[in-house]
Amino acid sequence: MSTNIQQVIAAEQNPALRTIAEKIVNKQRITPEDGLLLFEQAGLPFVGALANFVRERLHGDTTYFNRNFHIEPTNVCVFACSFCSYSRLYAHREEGWELTTDQMLNIVKGYDGKPVTEVHIVGGVHPKLTMEFFADLLRKIKAHRPELHIKGFTPVELDYMFRKAKLTADEGMKYLHEAGLDSLPGGGAEIFHPEVREKICADKVDAAGWLAIHEAAHKLGMHSNATMLYGHIEEFRHRIDHMERLRQLQDKTGGFNTFIPLKFRNKENDMSNVPESSVIEDMRMYAIARLYMDNFPHLKAYWPMLGRHNAQLTLSFGVNDIDGTIDDSTKIYSMAGSEEQNPAMTTAQLVTLIKQAKRKPIERDTLYKVLHDYSEMEVDKIDVDPSMN
């Protein structure tokens, strides 16, 4: 799927865009002004071809996925983010759920003998679920299945826990890491710029707090991901500001694995009047993210939010990872108006999706160690072997 990038650049009429493209081809960093110009003036074929060029330079056709499952401890939340369709405020918690430690351990035990490699734990911010409660859960999961990678808790949850425990970010991260937390997911970032953050999620951790918690994790040798919720009231300059802050922290620590643009969905939340972005704008977002985030090794499309077919499309616009089988009865996506009402894909379905896009399906672990190359395997053979499901 190689692109003749020089022909694409030569055909571009706008000299400023041609200059940016030459920088990218020559592995020079593009500036915030360059990024803004791409958002404002570049068409999808131009940024798409460049993003595909960068993606193939970094990863060839390799497209990663993993086998994971999710636990959502609670959807009760003390915060009230206006884009959130998921949380139930503490005052209305009769509509919510709170899982006990045993219930969560039983979810883990339900995967005994199955080749999942990661559990992803994220939920609302329940005022009574303390850091000690979660540390106990982490220890029990590790005692039951030591090799299972635990990726859990956004800085929104962590900031609340640490403040209640009167610990700094460094102290709190060390405590949870020692209890068994292996890495951090990318959530809770939304849009960092205060002009937007104050309108959509004013009361939760701010940009500095979010970044400080990831930095604390990186200092301990933990890896993490980063998201950006795009396509609502933010302007292009807010997206660039967001990506620039992440790029700067990555220059400092090198601890991020993956950048994940998350599409805003407007179902059943306080921003239902805000239209959703078009597929063209989604693909431009992914492509420009690949061009801007030059120090992030991976760009991921989160297929439950985007829909599996649009996620497949992103594989031609810079994306080299489409997350995991997820494989559970999670409510976080369907309640947020995602394309996928019951997000789960078998390994065979994920492999098929990647192969249809003429890419190479590679199962990875959380830290991108290659576990299995499915490129030569016929899809119908995957389901024949039950251990591969």
Binding residues: 77, 81, 83-84, 190
**Residue 81 binds ligand SF4 (CB under 6 A):** yes
Instruction: Give residue 237's Cα distance to chain centre.
Output: 21
CB of 95 to ligand SF4, least distance (A): 13
CB of 77 to ligand SF4, least distance (A): 3
**Residue 303 binds ligand SF4 (CB under 6 A):** no
CB of 124 to ligand SF4, least distance (A): 4
- Of 62 and 266, nearer to ligand SF4 (C-beta) is 266
- Of 35 and 152, nearer to ligand SF4 (C-beta) is 152
Burial class (CB in 10 A: 0-12, 13-18, 19+), 273: exposed
As beta bridge partners, residue 151 has: 120, 183
With CB under 6 A as the contact rule, the residue among 64, 65, 86, 264 that binds ligand SF4 is 86
- Of 64 and 79, nearer to ligand SF4 (C-beta) is 79
Instruction: Give residue 319's Cα distance to chain centre.
Output: 12
- Of 227 and 312, nearer to ligand SF4 (C-beta) is 227
**Block residue for tokens 């209890």:** 179
- Of 79 and 134, nearer to ligand SF4 (C-beta) is 79
Binding span for ligand SF4 by CB under 6 A among 20-28, 76-84, 308-316, 381-389: 76-84
With CB under 6 A as the contact rule, the residue among 20, 54, 77, 191 that binds ligand SF4 is 77
Which x/- pattern over 132-161 shows residues binding ligand SF4 (rule: CB under 6 A)?
A: ------------------------x-----
- Of 204 and 290, nearer to ligand SF4 (C-beta) is 204
- Between residue 164 and residue 203, which ones bind ligand SF4 under the rule CB under 6 A? 201
Positions of E strands within the chain:
62-66, 68-71, 76-77, 88-89, 118-121, 149-152, 183-184, 223-230, 256-263, 298-299, 321-324, 360-364, 370-373
With CB under 6 A as the contact rule, the residue among 65, 69, 79, 303 that binds ligand SF4 is 79
Instruction: Give residue 388's Cα distance to chain centre.
Output: 25
As beta bridge partners, residue 120 has: 70, 151
CA atoms of 323 and 67, how far apart (whole Å): 8
Residue 14, number of CB atoms within 10 A of its CB = 14
**Residue 87 binds ligand SF4 (CB under 6 A):** yes
Which x/- pattern over 198-217 shows residues binding ligand SF4 (rule: CB under 6 A)?
A: ---x--x-------------
Question: Pick from 52, 72, 69: which is nearest to 2 by CA?
Answer: 52
- Of 199 and 219, nearer to ligand SF4 (C-beta) is 199
Binding span for ligand SF4 by CB under 6 A among 73-81, 162-170, 277-285, 321-329: 73-81
As beta bridge partners, residue 88 has: 76
Binding span for ligand SF4 by CB under 6 A among 83-91, 165-173, 270-278, 284-292: 83-91
Q: Which residues are annotated as a binding site for S-adenosyl-L-methionine?
A: 83, 190
CA atoms of 56 and 2, how far apart (whole Å): 8
Contact 68, 119 (CB under 8 A): yes
Q: How many CA atoms lie within 13 A of 281 on its CB side?
A: 14
- Of 155 and 255, nearer to ligand SF4 (C-beta) is 155
Backbone angles phi, psi at 351, to 5 degrees: -60, -40
CB of 61 to ligand SF4, least distance (A): 35
DSSP 238-295: HHHHHHHHHHHHHHHH--EEEEEEEE---TTSTTTTSPPPPHHHHHHHHHHHHHH-TT
**Residue 84 binds ligand SF4 (CB under 6 A):** yes
Burial class (CB in 10 A: 0-12, 13-18, 19+), 46: buried
CA atoms of 323 and 300, how far apart (whole Å): 7
Count the residues of the shown chain that bind ligand SF4, applying the rule CB under 6 A. 12
**Residue 124 binds ligand SF4 (CB under 6 A):** yes
- Of 69 and 153, nearer to ligand SF4 (C-beta) is 153
Which residues make up the interface to ligand SF4 (CB under 6 A)? Answer: 77, 79-81, 84, 86-87, 124-125, 156, 201, 204
